[in-house]
Chain A
Amino acid sequence: MPIAQTDLETILREGFPDAEIVIEDLAGDGDHYKARIVSAAFAGLPRVRQHQLVYAALKGRMGGELHALALETSAPL
């Protein structure tokens, strides 16, 4: 059930058009990623809300076809 890195990036870009997004494939298996997302959408939100926005953009894939996605979110300085 893995997901290609380019697909993951496309999905995240759709959700956060303004964002700076850096994705790393941690295990090389298309199933364990790390994403750093810097978007104005996160400004002023607690981390839980920031990550919930990312999970919402992933439309249910998280925990399903995407097993592990380490998230680092922040608003632009």
Chain B
Amino acid sequence: MTETTTANPVHDFIAGAIADHPVVLFMKGVPEQPQCGFSAQVVQILDHLGADFVGVNVLQSDALRDGIKTYSDWPTIPQLYVKGEFVGGCDIIREMFQAGELKTFLAEQGVLEA
């Protein structure tokens, strides 16, 4: 999971995306127009906290939709990555947000404007 090159080109794409951008949300649809309620919730939370993030629409390719699940060993979408690390899916992000932990975490990671 931390390798920079793998035999799987989709995994290479994912590794590149999360290396290039500090906060990446793999989601169904785009941030301006999510196509799934769970993806929409995470977008809303990130917007609310004022976090700058890049959305990657997994619906653009079946290979990406499957690849993101094997990359993280996580069967559902959305998936949030911060500084290259998988943070969680919708439930975890919502729980962290409600507990006030997400804001603290993002600030600690230096990805939230003060």
A residues apposed to B, CB below 8 Å: 47-48, 51-52, 55, 60, 62-64, 68, 70-72
Contacts and interface: CB of A to CB of B under 8 A. Distances in A.
A48 to B, nearest CB: 6
Interface size class of B (residues with CB under 8 A): 10 to 19
B74 A52 contact: yes
Interface string B75-92: 110000000001111111
Contacts, number: 31
B47 interface: no
B95 A62 contact: no
Nearest to A50: B92
Given A62-B75, A62-B76, A63-B75, A51 B92 contact: yes
B76 A63 contact: yes
B73 interface: yes
